[in-house]
C-alpha cells in the first residue's frame, strides 16, 4: 500500500461538511505553506456564511453549499479530491479512495459526519433526511402525498411536522412529550398550540415559579389542525433547491397533494413495530386501523397497537456516526454511541489521526456546563479547534481546550419561535439535585431556569426573551442566586439592570 501512494500530503481532511471545511480553513490560514488535501464524497462543500457571535458562547450562521473551487481559489495550497475514502491504513499513514487512488498523510482529520439511523434499510416507502438530495426527494414524494407518518422526536421531526402543508401528518414519538431532545414537557406544552393555530394569544405574563406539566396518557394521542395561510401572509416565498442548512426546510416547499389546512395527529410513547405493504397487510391477521381504512401503498404498525396506512414514512430517528470506512484493520477506540473517541486535542486513539463533527464523540472530561450534541455549531467549533490543534502540534505550540467547550449553547428556531438553550438546559446529569423556575406567557415566551446549589446551570428560552446574554453570564460567573429566589423570573424586574 505504502508504495502505491500517489502523493503524500502534510494534512488530509476527510469530509466536505461544516467540520471538514472549517478544519481546512483553519489549517490553511495558520500554515499557508502546508500541503492540504480535502477528500470528500459529495460534489459540493458546505461553508459557513453570515457568521455572527451573538454573545460569549452563542453563535449564529447560515450554511451554504458551494463548489469546492471556491475553497481552492481561497487557499492555493489546497487540493480537493472528489472521491470517497474506501479504507484507511493508519500504520502506513495512507488511505485509499473508491476510485482506486492511494494518498499518504502526515496528519489526518476524519470529518465523515453521520448517516440517518433508518427504521429499516432499503424500503422504498421509508425516507431519511440527511442532505440536499434526500430533502428534495422528500419534497417530490410529498407533492403527491395525502398522508405521511413521521417517526422521531428530534429537531428534524419537529421542523418537519410544523412545515408540512396540504398533507395529513401522523407523528409517532417514543416519549411522553414532543421535542424530547431539546425540551422538557413544559416547553412542549408551550409549543403544542402552534400546531393548532398561528395567531399568538397575547396574555399577560403569568408567573409559574414551580414547574408542573400535564402528561398525555401512555400511548395517548392528540390531534391538531391549523390553517397555515395566516402565517405565510407577507412572508417572502423561498427558492426551491437552496442549500440544506439550519433552515433547510425554508429552501424547499413542503407541500402535500392537498390544499389548505394542516393536520397533525400525535401518537405518544410508541415505536414502530412493523412496516408492511398493502399486499402484506391483506395476507396478515386483521389489524387495528388507527384512521379510516383506505388503500395505501404502505402501512405502519405502532407499539400502541394502532396501524396507519400512508403514502410514505419519514424516519427522523437521529444519526449514527459514519465511521465504517475508517475502522477496518485499525484500532480506533469507539464510544458507546459509535463515534470515534477524541481527547481534548481532538485526537483519536490512532497516532496522527484527529476527528471532528458528527463522526466523533468528545471523550475528554467535560466542563460541568457542556455536553456534546450533534449540531451545526458544534461541527464548526470542533472543526475549527481540530485545525488549531493539528497546526499547534506541527508548530510545537501549546494549546488549551477552547472556551466554546465551557458552556453548551445553541440558538435555533422551532415552530417559528426563537429557541435558546444554555448549559444543562434539561438538568442533564443532575439527577434530583436541581430546582426549576419557569415563567410562561402563552403564545409569547417560555423561560425555564435550572438551578443547582443556588447557582444557575442551565436555561431554555423560547420567544424573544432577550435574556440569553444575562443568563449566559450568570451561568459562567457561577453566582449564588439564592438571595433572589423566584424574583429571578419576575417579569416586572429588568433582570439585565439588576445584575449590571
Ligand atoms: P456532515 O455535514 O454530515 O458532512 C460529512 C461529510 O463527509 C460530507 O461531505 C460527506 O460527503 C463526507 N463523507 C462521508 N463519508 C465519506 C467518505 N468515506 N469519504 C469521503 N467523504 C466522506 N444542526 C443544527 O445545529 N441546526 C439545525 O437546524 C439542523 N438541522 C438539520 C437538519 C437535517 C435534515 C439534518 C440531517 C441535520 C441537521 N442538523 C442541524 C445537524 C447538522 O447537520 C450536523 O450536526 C452537521 O452537519 C455535522 O457536520 P459534519 O461536518 O460533522 O458532517
Q: Is 63 within 8 Å of 48 (Cβ atoms)? A: yes
The complex's ipTM? 0.98
Angle formed by the axes of helices 376-394 and 18-30, nearest 10°: 30
Give the distance (Å) from ligand 1 centre to CA of residue 32. 26
Give the distance (Å) from ligand 1 centre to CA of residue 317. 15
- Alpha-carbon span 309 to 278, nearest angstrom: 9
Among 250, 319, 376, 418, residue to substitute to test ligand 1 (most atoms within 8 Å of Cβ):
376
Nearest to residue 471, comparing CAs of 496, 443, 446? 496
> Residue whose CA is closest, atom 46 of ligand 1?
376
What average pLDDT does this structure show over 166-170? 92
Q: What is the pLDDT of residues 202-219, one digit of tens each?
A: 444 433 333 323 344 444
> Residue whose CA is closest, atom 9 of ligand 1?
16
pLDDT greater than 60 at residue 22 = yes
Of ligand 1's atoms, which has the minimum distance to the CA of residue 130? 36
Give the distance (Å) from ligand 1 centre to CA of residue 399. 27
pLDDT band at 280 (very low <50, low <70, confident <90, very high): confident
Give the distance (Å) from ligand 1 centre to CA of residue 128. 13
% of the chain surpassing 90 pLDDT = 59
> Residue whose CA is closest, atom 28 of ligand 1?
246
Q: How many CB atoms lie within 10 A of CB 356?
A: 34
Of ligand 1's atoms, which has the minimum distance to the CA of residue 410? 25
Of ligand 1's atoms, which has the minimum distance to the CA of residue 19? 51
Higher pLDDT, 341 or 197: 341
DSSP annotation string for 376-423: HHHHHHHHHHHHHHHHHHHTT------GGGTB-EEEEEETTEEEEEEE
Give the distance (Å) from ligand 1 centre to CA of residue 114. 6
pLDDT greater than 70 at residue 238 = no
Tell me what pLDDT residue 211 has: 30
Among 375, 414, 415, 417, residue to substitute to test ligand 1 (most atoms within 8 Å of Cβ):
375
What residues line ligand 1, using a CB cutoff of 6 Å?
14-20, 39-42, 46, 84-85, 111-114, 129-130, 155-156, 246, 248, 322, 325, 357-358, 374-377, 379, 412
Alpha carbon of 255 to those of 26, 59, 141, 414: distances in Å?
40, 31, 10, 19
Tell me what pLDDT residue 433 has: 82
What average pLDDT does this structure show over 472-486? 91
What average pLDDT does this structure show over 111-130? 88
What average pLDDT does this structure show over 75-94? 97
pLDDT band at 477 (very low <50, low <70, confident <90, very high): very high
> Residue whose CA is closest, atom 50 of ligand 1?
113
Q: What angle do CA 152, 157, 161 make, to 5 degrees?
A: 125
- Alpha-carbon span 10 to 131, nearest angstrom: 30
Among 15, 64, 109, 361, residue to substitute to test ligand 1 (most atoms within 8 Å of Cβ):
15
Q: What is the pLDDT of residues 424-472, one digit of tens each?
A: 999 888 888 889 999 999 999 999 999 999 999 999 999 999 999 999 9
> Residue whose CA is closest, atom 32 of ligand 1?
156
pLDDT greater than 80 at residue 289 = no
pLDDT greater than 90 at residue 284 = no
Least confident of 121-125, 174-178, 277-281, 446-450: 277-281
Least confident of 127-141, 310-324, 327-341, 450-464: 127-141
pLDDT band at 223 (very low <50, low <70, confident <90, very high): very low
User: Cβ contacts of residue 43 below 8 Å, gap of 6+?
Assistant: 82
Of ligand 1's atoms, which has the minimum distance to the CA of residue 15? 7
Tell me what pLDDT residue 134 has: 83
What pTM, to 2 d.p., does this model score? Answer: 0.87
What average pLDDT does this structure show over 258-262? 75
Nearest to residue 407, comparing CAs of 369, 448, 455, 452? 369
pLDDT greater than 90 at residue 407 = yes
pLDDT band at 201 (very low <50, low <70, confident <90, very high): very low
Give the distance (Å) from ligand 1 centre to CA of residue 245. 10
pLDDT greater than 70 at residue 236 = no
Cell of 297: 401503498
Least confident of 86-95, 369-378, 489-498: 489-498
Amino acid at each position: 500500500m505504502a508504495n502505491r501512494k500517489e502523493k503524500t500530503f502534510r494534512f488530509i481532511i476527510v469530509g466536505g461538511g461544516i467540520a471538514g471545511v472549517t478544519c481546512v480553513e483553519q489549517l490553511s490560514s495558520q500554515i499557508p505553506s502546508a500541503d492540504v488535501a480535502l477528500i470528500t464524497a459529495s460534489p459540493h462543500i458546505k461553508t459557513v456564511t453570515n457568521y455572527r457571535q451573538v454573545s460569549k458562547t452563542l453563535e449564529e450562521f447560515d450554511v451554504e453549499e458551494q463548489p469546492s473551487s471556491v475553497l481552492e481559489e481561497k487557499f492555493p495550497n489546497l487540493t480537493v479530491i472528489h472521491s470517497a475514502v474506501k479504507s484507511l491504513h493508519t500504520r502506513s499513514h495512507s488511505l485509499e479512495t473508491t476510485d482506486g487512488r492511494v494518498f499518504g498523510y502526515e496528519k489526518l482529520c476524519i470529518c465523515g459526519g453521520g448517516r440517518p439511523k433508518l427504521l429499516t434499510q432499503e424500503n422504498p416507502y421509508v425516507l431519511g433526511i440527511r442532505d440536499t438530495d434526500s430533502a428534495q426527494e422528500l419534497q417530490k414524494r410529498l407533492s403527491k402525498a395525502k398522508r405521511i407518518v413521521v417517526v422521531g422526536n428530534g429537531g428534524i421531526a419537529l421542523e418537519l411536522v410544523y412545515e408540512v402543508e396540504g398533507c395529513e401528518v401522523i407523528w409517532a414519538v417514543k416519549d411522553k412529550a414532543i421535542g424530547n431532545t431539546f425540551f422538557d414537557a413544559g416547553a412542549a406544552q408551550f409549543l403544542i398550540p402552534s400546531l393548532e393555530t398561528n395567531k399568538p394569544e397575547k396574555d399577560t405574563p403569568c408567573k409559574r415559579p414551580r414547574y408542573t406539566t400535564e402528561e398525555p396518557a401512555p400511548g395517548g394521542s392528540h390531534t391538531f389542525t391549523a390553517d397555515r395561510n395566516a402565517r405565510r401572509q407577507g412572508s417572502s416565498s423561498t427558492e426551491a433547491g437552496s442549500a440544506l442548512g439550519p433552515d433547510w426546510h425554508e429552501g424547499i416547499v413542503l407541500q402535500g397533494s392537498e390544499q389548505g389546512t394542516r393536520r397533525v395527529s400525535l401518537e405518544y410513547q410508541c415505536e414502530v413495530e412493523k412496516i408492511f405493504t398493502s399486499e402484506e397487510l391483506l395476507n396478515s391477521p386483521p389489524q387495528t386501523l388507527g384512521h379510516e381504512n383506505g388503500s395505501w401503498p404502505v402501512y405502519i404498525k405502532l407499539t400502541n397497537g394502532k396501524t396507519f396506512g400512508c403514502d410514505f414514512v419519514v424516519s427522523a430517528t437521529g444519526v449514527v456516526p459514519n465511521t465504517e470506512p475508517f475502522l477496518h484493520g485499525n484500532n480506533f477506540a469507539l464510544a458507546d454511541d459509535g463515534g470515534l473517541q477524541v481527547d481534548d486535542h481532538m485526537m483519536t486513539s490512532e497516532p496522527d489521526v484527529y476527528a471532528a463533527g458528527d463522526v466523533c464523540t468528545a471523550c475528554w472530561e467535560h466542563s460541568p456546563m457542556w455536553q456534546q450534541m450533534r449540531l451545526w455549531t458544534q461541527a464548526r467549533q470542533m472543526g475549527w479547534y481540530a485545525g488549531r490543534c493539528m497546526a499547534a502540534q506541527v508548530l510545537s505550540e501549546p494549546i488549551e481546550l477552547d472556551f466554546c467547550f465551557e458552556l453548551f449553547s445553541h440558538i435555533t428556531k422551532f415552530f417559528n419561535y426563537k429557541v435558546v438553550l444554555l448549559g444543562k438546559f434539561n438538568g442533564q446529569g443532575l439527577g434530583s439535585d436541581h430546582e426549576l423556575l419557569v415563567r410562561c406567557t402563552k403564545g409569547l415566551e417560555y423561560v425555564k431556569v435550572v438551578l443547582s446549589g443556588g447557582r444557575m446551570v442551565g436555561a431554555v428560552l423560547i420567544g424573544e426573551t432577550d435574556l440569553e446574554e444575562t443568563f449566559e453570564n450568570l451561568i459562567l460567573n457561577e453566582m449564588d442566586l439564592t438571595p433572589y429566589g423566584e424574583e429571578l423570573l419576575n417579569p416586572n424586574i429588568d433582570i439585565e439592570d439588576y445584575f449590571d
